[in-house]
Amino acid sequence: MGKSNLFGKDLICTQEWSLDELIQVLELAEEMKRNRFKYSSFLKNKTFFMFFYNPSVRTRQSFECAMTELGGHAQFLEPKTMRLKTATTAGETIEDAAKVMSRYACGIGIRILEDKVTRYGEGDELIREYARWADVPVISMAHDKFHPCQGLADIMGLRKHLGKDLRRKKILLTWGHGALARSWSSLQESLLICSRFGMNITLAYPKGYDLDSEVIELTRNNCDENGSYLETTNDHLEGYRGTDVVYSRNWMSPNAYKDGAFLKEEEIRKAMEHKKWICDSEKMKLTNDAIFIHPMPVDRGHEVTDEVASGKRSIIYDIAENRLHVQKALIALLMSDCW
């Protein structure tokens, strides 16, 4: 027995891993999908702590299933039920909490999204502070900047349906109006990981919905290194033309926070004014018979119509399943000594 070359590594954003490391995870995930219960002793009797500042459906289910199928246990934790220090309350510091939890568990996962922070980037800082002090791997289960597990699940789905060589395949990431005021995490992760795999990217959104400029710059650099491109448009139709993949999702504006508060209702009000920004069958006819992807939950009737979301070219359920397999592969590579 031994350890993988990824043993002990944190995953906060896929941009911080090499392409070879990402492919290693994807290839193991594909193997684990083919032979789902072959690795049932890899984390026998070990525990993975899951911090949920925000609620979840797929994330909790998929991580718990992954740990069970590897022979371990995933422990669900809600920070509000724990005595943790915050900006307004006394309690245990991140340093102390991370060091103690490292004595108990083989890894820590954290999920903290837009309405549990007072400004953009605060969730990213919190996860990195846990990673600084923890002696076990820390995994982002989605935070306000990035969603690495979703990015890997997306790429796993694209590799299956478009082939493992994704270079020069075109993906459209398009804003959709809706009533959820979503964070930038899934979209920004998609920009980074798709550009790492050499895809051509069109980013479409109404004026006033720019993403993080640093992430955009990183994406452009990735494209330059791979001979691909990133283009942006404020036209709700143009990006569909000739694309191979459509990803339609709502996201908040850069003005979503004011005086430490997340202005959810105002974000929803503004978003609902852009009703032409919806993925429908007429727009999909402009594509190269594109597949439709989405990290879920889908805001049907706003981000995308039922006809597209449940259509023959939609792979949203494949990608939701992939969350189990990529997270199982991650946990095994980062936390198991059974190699």
pLDDT value of position 88: 59
pLDDT value of position 191: 98
Residue limits of CATH 3.40.50.1370 in the chain: 14-146+323-335, 157-319
Residue 243 has pLDDT above 70, yes or no: yes
Q: How many Å apart are CA 46 and CA 166, to the nearest integer?
A: 36
Structural contact between residues 185 and 145, judged by C-beta atoms closer than 8 angstroms: yes
Across the range 26-40, mean pLDDT stands at 97
Residue 250, number of CB atoms within 10 A of its CB: 22
pLDDT single digits (tens) 115-167: 999 999 999 999 999 999 999 999 999 999 999 999 999 999 999 999 999 99
pLDDT single digits (tens) 170-203: 999 999 999 999 999 999 999 999 999 999 999 9
3-state class of 174 per DSSP?
strand
pLDDT band at residue 2 using 50, 70 and 90 as cut-offs: confident
- Between vectors from CA 46 to CA 41 and to CA 47, what angle results, nearest 5°? 135
Percent of the chain with pLDDT over 90: 94
Q: Which class would CATH give 14-146+323-335? A: alpha beta
**Residue 240 DSSP label:** G
Across the range 277-290, mean pLDDT stands at 98
pLDDT single digits (tens) 209-230: 999 999 999 999 999 999 999 9
pLDDT value of position 1: 67
pLDDT single digits (tens) 304-323: 999 999 999 999 999 999 99
Q: Does domain 157-319 have CATH number 3.90.480.20?
A: no
Structural contact between residues 14 and 192, judged by C-beta atoms closer than 8 angstroms: yes
Q: How many Å apart are CA 102 and CA 75, to the nearest integer?
A: 14
In degrees and rounded to multiples of 5, residue 45 shows phi and psi of 70, 10
Residue 241 has pLDDT above 70, yes or no: yes
pLDDT single digits (tens) 72-104: 999 999 988 887 866 656 678 999 999 999 999
Length of the chain: 339
What's the distance, CA 6 to chain centroid? Answer: 20
Q: Name the pTM for this structure.
A: 0.96
- Between vectors from CA 238 to CA 227 and to CA 314, what angle results, nearest 5°? 85
Beta bridge partners of 171: 201, 245
- Which amino acid makes up residue 137? P
Please measure the distance between the N-terminal and C-terminal CA atoms of the chain and give it in whole angstroms: 5
pLDDT single digits (tens) 274-283: 999 999 999 9
Residue 270 has pLDDT above 80, yes or no: yes
- Between vectors from CA 159 to CA 300 and to CA 27, what angle results, nearest 5°? 120
3-state class of 231 per DSSP?
strand
